[in-house]
Amino acid sequence: MRYRFIAVLAAAALMLLPSMAQPSSAQNRRPAAAPAKPTPRWPDGTVRLGPPPGEKGLWQPNGRPILAEPETDPAIKDGQGRGAFSGPPFPGKPKESEVPFQPWARALYEYREANLFEPHTRCKPSGGPRQFITPGGVEFVDMPETKTVYIFDENGPQTFRVIYLDGRPHPKDLFPSYYGHSVGHWEGDTLVVDTVGFNERFWMERQGAPHTDKLHLIERFTRTDSNNMKIEVTIDDPGAYTRPWTTGFFIRWTPNAEAAEYICQDNNQASTMMVGTEESVDRGSRIVP
Amino acid sequence: MRAKVCFVFLLASVVLPGLTFAQEGHPLVGTWSGDWGPTPTHRNQVTIVMNWDGKNITGIINPGPDVIPMKVVTLDSTKWTVHIEADAKDSSGNPVHFVVDGKLDNILSYKRTLAGTWNHGNIKGDFKVTRD
């Protein structure tokens, strides 16, 4: 599949900021979405997660695409690009202090906040909610004939994730992977996706909330109209949290945008982080991982 | 047959140390290798393997025929310090108690380190291991 990127002034900035995936003002200069139309649907009435017939577009972050509201020093976090997207707050999003971290997980979360060293900046795939928190956005590809939904990353290593809607269960003895194994079903107009089988090689969100290979993720995708999608996430990971917790964020439709060929490794300015230490990160050198 | 088994172990010992996998979960999980010893010149190779089941850290020292199970492993995440205790026997069959206290460094790096003091019976020394 070959794409050509059209539209969005953010594109140029994104190509120059390869894998860092930090939001910039350019990413907020998205073309204004047309007034929202009703949620697009397939002939059988099922919600379309991709574009309506004859149209094109991508989903990009909206609001604060983070899992917990910062409390300690939001100015610093915003300055680092975290939560810098403008948009609506997600109702009921927990504050950092309300997240039921295990002690080690909270300490690691706080450590990560002070030491940006995210695998995403090393062109690694980012599973879980982190998949939706890149400036380039994602593309949903509905495949009703095969009962699958693909979610393509536009940043990072340009990988994709598959959601099976054919009623299959999770396999036993899953080999842990970046995106895990996702099965979904529709509850009214909400796609409910259950994912297990994650590995521990990525951050599941930009702020650095840890997870383990025990992570069980339940995502609820609700396209409320043609321009907006609500993603509610329940994180059930007894390896890192004392109980399941629920949060969420929004993504916004960017009309007329198409995916571009984007090779993270080709211009990776942060790849020394793959082999260096926190004290000796050299962001000036290029090393293809 | 024995030769084949030995070859496989030898091959694994050569190949596996070269593989470094990111591990972004519990910071102690993984295989750590390095050395300990009473002086800078008297060193002993050591390998530590630790796991996290969601409630407890478990581990072993020097996997293989002389493996030593860890009896106590605790992480103080407020200081990123680690305390390990283990019981073994020396070559004469006498009990030896290990007490290891270390501090994690470069926590977000694949090659994070754990270093500190390593008391092995009556011998006191230091150690440093790096996550493979």
Set of chain A residues whose Cβ sits within 8 Å of the Cβ of B52: 212, 239
Look at residue A38 in the predicted model and tell me its pLDDT. 95
Smallest CA–CA separation between A172 and chain B, in Å? 19
Look at residue B2 in the predicted model and tell me its pLDDT. 54
Whether residues B24 and A106 touch (CB distance < 8 A) is answered with no
| pLDDT for residue B127 is more than 80 | yes
Does the reported pTM lie above 0.90?
Answer: no
d(CA A219, CA A234): 6
3-class DSSP assignment, residue A130: helix
Set of chain B residues whose Cβ sits within 8 Å of the Cβ of A108: 27, 77, 107
Domain total for chain B? 1
Whether residues B27 and A104 touch (CB distance < 8 A) is answered with yes
Q: How many helices (H) and strands (E) does chain A have?
A: 3, 9
Could you tell me if B126 and B112 are in contact, meaning their C-beta atoms sit under 8 angstroms apart? no
Among residues A201, A186, A196, the alpha carbon closest in space to that of A235 is found at A196
ipTM (interface pTM): 0.82
Mutation target vs B (from A212, A235, A237; most B CBs, 10 A cutoff)? A212
Task: Scan residues 101-130 of A and list those with Cβ closer than 8 Å to B.
Answer: 103-104, 106-108, 111-112, 115, 117, 119, 124
Q: Per-residue pLDDT tens for A2-13? A: 444 333 333 333
Give pLDDT tens digits along chain A (289 positions).
344 433 333 333 333 333 333 333 334 445 556 788 999 999 999 999 999 999 999 999 886 678 888 876 554 444 444 444 456 788 999 999 999 999 999 999 999 887 767 888 778 888 999 999 888 889 999 999 999 999 999 877 888 999 999 999 999 999 999 999 999 999 999 999 999 999 999 999 888 999 999 999 999 999 999 999 999 999 999 999 999 999 999 999 999 998 888 877 776 555 444 444 455 554 444 443 3
Among residues A90, A50, A41, A63, the alpha carbon closest in space to that of A188 is found at A41
Nearest by CB to A210, from B25, B53, B54: name it: B25
Smallest CA–CA separation between B110 and chain A, in Å? 8
Whether residues A277 and B106 touch (CB distance < 8 A) is answered with yes
Look at residue B91 in the predicted model and tell me its pLDDT. 82
One-letter amino acid identity for A273?
M
Q: Per-residue pLDDT tens for B24-62? A: 899 999 999 999 999 999 999 999 999 999 999 999 999
d(CA A177, CA A195): 11
What's the N-to-C CA distance of chain A in angstroms?
Answer: 24
Beta bridge partners of B50: B30, B59
Look at residue A259 in the predicted model and tell me its pLDDT. 84
Nearest by CB to B108, from A106, A115, A213: name it: A115
Nearest by CB to B77, from A104, A124, A276: name it: A104
Look at residue A112 in the predicted model and tell me its pLDDT. 87
Whether residues A239 and B52 touch (CB distance < 8 A) is answered with yes
Set of chain A residues whose Cβ sits within 8 Å of the Cβ of B106: 277-279
Mutation target vs B (from A277, A279, A280, A281; most B CBs, 10 A cutoff)? A277
Q: What is the CATH number of the domain that holds B29?
A: 2.40.128
Look at residue A175 in the predicted model and tell me its pLDDT. 94
Q: Per-residue pLDDT tens for A114-134? A: 776 788 877 888 899 999 988
Domain span holding position B108: 2-131
Among residues A93, A104, A86, the alpha carbon closest in space to that of A231 is found at A93
Higher local confidence (pLDDT), B5 or A262: A262
Could you tell me if A18 and A6 are in contact, meaning their C-beta atoms sit under 8 angstroms apart? no
Region of A272 (left: φ > 0; alpha: ψ -120 to 50; beta: rest) is: alpha
What's the N-to-C CA distance of chain B in angstroms?
Answer: 30
d(CA B78, CA A199): 26
Confidence of residue B132 (pLDDT cuts 50, 70, 90): confident
Q: Per-residue pLDDT tens for A57-104? A: 999 988 667 888 887 655 444 444 444 445 678 899 999 999 999 999
Whether residues A276 and B108 touch (CB distance < 8 A) is answered with no
Look at residue A272 in the predicted model and tell me its pLDDT. 46
Whether residues A239 and B111 touch (CB distance < 8 A) is answered with no
Nearest by CB to A213, from B25, B27, B106: name it: B25
| pLDDT for residue B12 is more than 80 | no
Residue A131 CB contacts under 8 Å (≥ 6 apart), including other chains:
A138, A151, A153, A161, A179
Measured CA to CA in angstroms, residue A204 lies from A65, A126, A209, B6 at distances of 12, 6, 7, 41
